[in-house]
Amino acid sequence: MARPSLHDLTFRALEDELASAGLPRVHALPLWRALYREWETIGPALAKNAAFPPPLRRWLGEHPPVLDVPMEHDMRASADGQTQKFLLRLGDGQTIETVLMGYDGRHTACVSTQAGCAMGCVFCATGQMGFVRHLRAGEIVAQVLHAQRALGGGLRNLVLMGMGEPLHNYDAVMAALEIIADSRGLGLAPGRITISTVGVVPGILRLVEEKQPWNLAVSLHGSTEEERAALVPVSARWSLRTLISACHEYSRQTERKIFFEWTLIAGRNDSPAHAERLGALLRGIRSHVNLIPLNPTAGYDGTESGAGAAAEFQRTLRRAGVPSTVRQRRGIDVAAGCGQLTAQRPSCVPFFPPSQPLPHPDPHLPRKA
Ligand code: SF4
């Protein structure tokens, strides 16, 4: 069997790996620091690291480690210089996109968790391309490392809102976040990490059960079953009612706020009546709504709501006691906005078109819904 990438291993798993090779577990710390503080990119160079104890150097020399260092295929920066979009090529040739956004000197990385996506949201370019494969933990971690290198350090926030549905790749995502938040390495604070789901209910309940510390964002987009189903096909599997009930459970048990994402599409879901129904749905849930005017994609002919409709929507939510923010559109000129990521390359062939049933859901997800 192929050896795992060192970036796939949590600190505990790295200790176990060293212990199984007969090395002291304490050797994990210098190796971890080289990977996540010095951002070492060349496996063989680790064996020459003079700061390592000799037995560790010897072992690394005899077992050249595998690292996840995706190749940067392309980088596009928005005209305002605030957004960079990286097209990264993974070890097997698949390509994914990672976005780095900077506001007021604070930087947020938006990473992908799958190549493609099985959820098929109609307005989303990733959904339109279909599902290719899950990313390994190391491939998710590597995107954060790539962003850190591009910045020269100082990454502040992380959102899992790139290509893919994070809760459809639950185990790899949780392992990646454990690595990214580990204070001995990258050390991103859990409160600055947000998982965004389109409503994989068993995954939300598992986050609660496991007391996972990350923020949660839930994409709703529709205030009735029919409205949501027309935009988000996965709601046929987990209804709006089931999803809202899982959100109540999350809010009750964690006492944390949930960020609800609402793509504003002119004439589809942007009227005051929609906002009233949304306000009623969220009653009793600690929530904040992010209103995101639709970003254009080739496969969907809807248009974004105007500023007037967005402001009215927000006023209606406020009257219902629900705080909200109209998100500024950024990075649209380089197709780096919400729902615009595709990583279109000949190597990136969707195996499961979005019209087909959800492929091999994570076997570890409980089937409660
Ligand atoms: S919006 Fe998110 S969950 Fe929906 S298809 Fe796009 S990437 Fe997948």
305 close to ligand 1 (CB < 6 Angstrom): no
Atom of ligand 1 nearest to the CA of 354: 5
361 close to ligand 1 (CB < 6 Angstrom): no
Domain locations along the chain: 6-62, 71-334
DSSP state, residue 350: -
67 close to ligand 1 (CB < 6 Angstrom): no
Which residues belong to the active site?
Answer: 97, 338
- Ligand 1 centroid to Cα of residue 65, in Å, is 34
Q: Which DSSP string do the residues of 253-291 spell out, in sequence order?
A: HH---EEEEEEEBTTTS-SHHHHHHHHHHTTTS-EEEEE
Give the rounded distance of the alpha carbon of 82 from its chain centre: 20
In this prediction, residue 1 carries a pLDDT of 52
Whether 295 and 305 have beta carbons less than 8 Å apart is answered as no
Strand-by-strand arrangement of the 83-89 sheet: 71-77, 83-89, 95-103, 106-110, 155-160, 193-197, 215-219, 258-264, 287-293, 324-326
- Ligand 1 centroid to Cα of residue 232, in Å, is 9
Closest C-alpha to ligand 1, atom 4: 121
CA 335 – CA 254 distance, rounded (Å): 35
- Ligand 1 centroid to Cα of residue 149, in Å, is 27
CATH 3.20.20.70 for domain 71-334: yes
* Mutational pocket test of ligand 1: of 114, 119, 123, the residue with most ligand atoms within 8 Å of the beta carbon: 119
Length of the chain equals 369
In this prediction, residue 128 carries a pLDDT of 87
CA 331 – CA 366 distance, rounded (Å): 37
Whether 235 and 199 have beta carbons less than 8 Å apart is answered as yes
Would you write out the chain's pLDDT as a tens digit for each of its 369 residues? 567 799 999 999 999 999 999 999 999 999 999 999 999 999 999 999 999 999 999 999 999 899 999 999 999 999 888 899 999 999 999 999 999 999 878 999 999 999 999 999 998 989 888 999 999 999 999 999 999 999 999 999 999 999 999 999 999 999 999 999 999 999 999 999 999 999 999 999 999 999 999 999 999 999 999 999 999 999 999 999 999 999 999 999 999 999 999 999 999 999 999 999 999 999 999 999 999 999 888 888 899 999 999 999 999 999 999 999 998 766 767 766 777 776 554 333 333 333 333 334 443 343 333
Closest C-alpha to ligand 1, atom 5: 127
- Ligand 1 centroid to Cα of residue 153, in Å, is 29
Q: Which residues pair with residue 41 across a beta bridge?
A: none
164 close to ligand 1 (CB < 6 Angstrom): yes
pTM: 0.91
124 close to ligand 1 (CB < 6 Angstrom): yes
Residue 5 corresponds to which tokens in the numbers above?
Answer: 């990438």
- Ligand 1 centroid to Cα of residue 108, in Å, is 19
293 close to ligand 1 (CB < 6 Angstrom): no
Neighbouring CB atoms inside 10 A of 54's CB total 7
